[in-house]
């Protein structure tokens, strides 16, 4: 009897807890209690994917909006710096003048310094913003250098700006390519936007050429610039995301000529 009792106790101690309770090893219920099924796991992954997809789009939009905002801020800083340059640079008669562009190619170094000839005139009308001369940021939010164009009579160190007569503004800002009603500009500062087509980058290279006619007009070294709201690549006119700011003659003279005799002809 004693040996038989010991044997019975040993067998019971080795019996798994689920046996004898209506559940067998490997039953569907025991498998379910052990973790997620493949179907449940697939559903969870699908829901996570949907949530991530819904979050990524707003995040990309926020980044794009921030880059646009930062670039517009850089353009405004450049415009203020141009005024500061004119207020601190005078010809022999005490008349202010704007800086020259940083010339691209043709002997230009693209070093951020203005390129001015020995007679005081600019080496080119259209080029890069002389960021080093002005002490402003080198690039926009996308790592490309800002473009700059100036009307020759507003940047002649030998003959500063006078408002009587008002110097001829040879830079035009247009709302469309036909430029039916151009805006006269003493100077223009431009960013080639997020796509950066046609821009000079910070390492001295030139990005891919633009496809749309409006962006091509802003990279052909002509004194005519297109400015309008951005358009997508699938629109009739093609993609356009350039950002342009300009200095009108009246706006410029209003900030440089106080009192008005500072810019008056002798």
Dump pLDDT digits (tens) for 16-36. 555 445 555 555 554 545 567
How far is 257 from 162, CA to CA, in rounded Å?
9
Q: What is the pLDDT of residue 9?
A: 45
Q: What is the pLDDT of residue 106?
A: 52
Residue 142, token pair as written in the block: 């996308």
Task: Name residue 188's beta-bridge partners.
Answer: 149, 246
Dump pLDDT digits (tens) for 197-231. 999 998 888 999 999 999 999 999 999 999 999 99
Angle between helices 249-256 and 38-88 (to 10 degrees): 60
- ∠111-113-118 over CA atoms, to 5°? 125
**Is the backbone of residue 86 left (phi > 0), alpha (psi -120 to 50) or beta?**
alpha
pLDDT at 6 over 80: no
Question: Count of CB atoms within 10 A of residue 77's CB?
Answer: 15
Task: Name residue 201's beta-bridge partners.
Answer: 144
**Is the backbone of residue 120 left (phi > 0), alpha (psi -120 to 50) or beta?**
left
Q: What is the pLDDT of residue 28?
A: 52
Question: Count of CB atoms within 10 A of residue 8's CB?
Answer: 10
For residue 8, what pLDDT band results from cuts at 50, 70 and 90? very low
Helix, strand or coil for residue 16? coil
Q: What is the pTM of this model?
A: 0.77
Widest pairwise Cα distance in the chain? 134
Dump pLDDT digits (tens) for 175-200. 887 888 899 999 999 999 999 999 99
Domain extent listing, the chain: 41-262
Residue 41, token pair as written in the block: 């796991």
Dump pLDDT digits (tens) for 23-76. 555 555 545 455 678 888 888 888 888 777 666 667 777 888 899 999 999 999
Dump pLDDT digits (tens) for 227-249. 999 999 888 889 999 999 999 99
Q: What is the pLDDT of residue 153?
A: 94
Dump pLDDT digits (tens) for 125-168. 999 999 999 999 999 999 999 999 999 999 999 999 988 788 88
pLDDT at 10 over 50: no
């Amino acid at each position: 009897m004693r040996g038989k009792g010991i044997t019975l106790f040993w067998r019971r101690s080795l019996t798994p807890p689920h046996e004898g309770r209506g559940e067998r090893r490997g039953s569907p219920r025991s498998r379910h209690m052990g973790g997620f099924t493949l179907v449940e796991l697939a559903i969870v992954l699908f829901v996570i994917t949907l949530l991530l997809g819904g979050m990524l789009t707003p995040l990309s939009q926020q980044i794009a909006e921030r880059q646009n905002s930062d670039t517009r801020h850089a353009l405004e800083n450049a415009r203020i710096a141009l005024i500061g340059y004119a207020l601190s640079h005078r010809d022999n008669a005490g008349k202010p003048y704007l800086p020259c562009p940083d010339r691209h190619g043709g002997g230009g170094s693209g070093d951020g310094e203005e390129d001015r000839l020995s007679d005081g005139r600019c080496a080119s009308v259209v080029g890069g913003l002389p960021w080093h001369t002005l002490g402003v940021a080198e690039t926009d939010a996308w790592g490309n250098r800002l473009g700059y164009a100036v009307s020759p009579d507003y940047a002649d160190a030998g003959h500063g700006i006078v408002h009587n007569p008002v110097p001829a503004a040879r830079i035009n800002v247009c709302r469309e390519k036909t430029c039916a009603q151009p805006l006269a500009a003493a100077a223009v500062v431009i960013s080639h936007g997020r796509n950066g087509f046609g821009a000079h980058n910070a390492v001295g290279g030139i990005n891919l050429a633009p496809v749309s006619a409006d962006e091509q007009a802003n990279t052909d070294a002509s004194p005519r610039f297109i400015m309008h709201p951005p358009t997508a690549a699938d629109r009739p006119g093609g993609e356009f995301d350039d950002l342009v700011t300009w200095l009108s003659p009246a706006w410029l003279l209003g900030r440089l000529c106080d009192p008005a005799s500072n810019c008056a002809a002798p």
